[in-house]
Amino acid sequence: MVGQTYGRKQFQPYYLRRDELSTYKGCLLWGNRVVIPKTIRSRVIQMFHEEHPGIVRMKALMRDYVWWPKMDTEVERCVNACTTCQATRKEPPKAPLLPWERTRNPWTRLHMDFAGPFRGQTFLVVVDSYSKWLEVFPMASTTSRAVIGELRKLFATHGLPQVIVSDNGTAFNSEEMRNFAAANGIRLSFIPAYHPASNEQAECMVQETKNN
**Same-domain check for residues 124 and 205:** yes
Give CA–CA dist 110/156, Å, rounded: 15
Decide if pLDDT at 83 tops 70.
yes
pLDDT at position 7, please? 58
Give CA–CA dist 58/47, Å, rounded: 10
26 domain residue, yes or no: yes
pLDDT at position 20, please? 87
**Same-domain check for residues 204 and 128:** yes
Confidence of residue 180 (pLDDT cuts 50, 70, 90): very high
**CATH code, domain with 40:** 1.10.340.70
157 domain residue, yes or no: yes
Chain centroid to CA 92: 23
29 domain residue, yes or no: yes
**Same-domain check for residues 122 and 200:** yes
Give CA–CA dist 177/158, Å, rounded: 19
Instruction: Count each helix (H run) and each strand (E run) in the chain, helices first.
Output: 8, 9
Give the mean pLDDT of 130-153.
92
pLDDT tens track for 17-53? 888 899 988 899 998 889 999 999 999 999 999 988 8
Against a cut of 0.85, is the pTM above it? no
**Same-domain check for residues 44 and 137:** no
Of 37, 57, 88, the residue that ends a domain is 88
Residue range(s) defining the domain that contains residue 125 = 109-211
β-strands 163-166, 187-190 pairing:
parallel
Decide if pLDDT at 62 tops 80.
yes
